[in-house]
Amino acid sequence: MGNTPRKLNRFFLAVLGLVLLVLGLVSLCLPLVPQAQDLWVEYVQPLEEPARAAFDRVAFNTVDGQTSLLTLLFVLLLLLVVIALMMGIIAQKPKKSKTLLSQQDTQTAGRTTISDKFIKQAITDGFESHPDILSVSVSSQELKRSSACSVKLEVRQGADIASLEKRAAQVVAGLDQLLGHKIPLLVRVTGGLRSTFADETQRVR
């Protein structure tokens, strides 16, 4: 449940995986396949001398010896790529929402706004009394068209899944009745159930 560009992420991962796969196949074929060695000698080795000459033409002396301007440009390019990837990761982090519900009053010029603290407290109170739940944490985030809540339940080992599902349904129904509006809600169960009930760890409505 988030606002991340999934299609762009999948495209990037697919391209990266394809490039790594091609490089792996090339490195595997060179020592094992004679035809690949012939292609390397015919097409790649003739480029070594021009490349070395190009590096030598833009070489300059440093404290530790001699380096090439092309090497510095390549390192700078890698640095820019790393910075761009870090900015992309930071940009995809879910944005916290302080207002989960805001509606214009049709009869007056006012607006009704419900903060995330109110809903967090209501959800926490609904789950806290369950005997199998050790702790409840609620976080809110912005989606494309609305705000949503993510609920994390830490439960005891061997907790009753059916009872937890019933309590989650009751909390959701109570929240809908309290607000008169449905808010996207994700309930995530962690703790001793993570390995035993791997398929039951998320309930989305």
Check residue 63 and give its pLDDT.
Answer: 65
Check residue 198 and give its pLDDT.
Answer: 42
Residue with tokens 């907790």: 159
CA–CA distance, 133 with 154 (Å, rounded to integer): 6
% of the chain at pLDDT higher than 90: 4
DSSP letter at 58 equals T
In order, the DSSP letters of 147-162 are EEEEEEEEE-TT--HH
Mind listing the pLDDT tens digit for each residue in 131-176? 888 888 888 777 766 777 788 888 887 778 888 888 888 888 888 8
Return the biggest CA–CA distance within the chain. 82
| Number of C-beta neighbours around residue 152 at 10 A | 15
H runs (alpha helix) in the chain: 6-32, 34-39, 48-57, 69-91, 116-128, 161-179, 193-196
CA–CA distance, 21 with 106 (Å, rounded to integer): 59
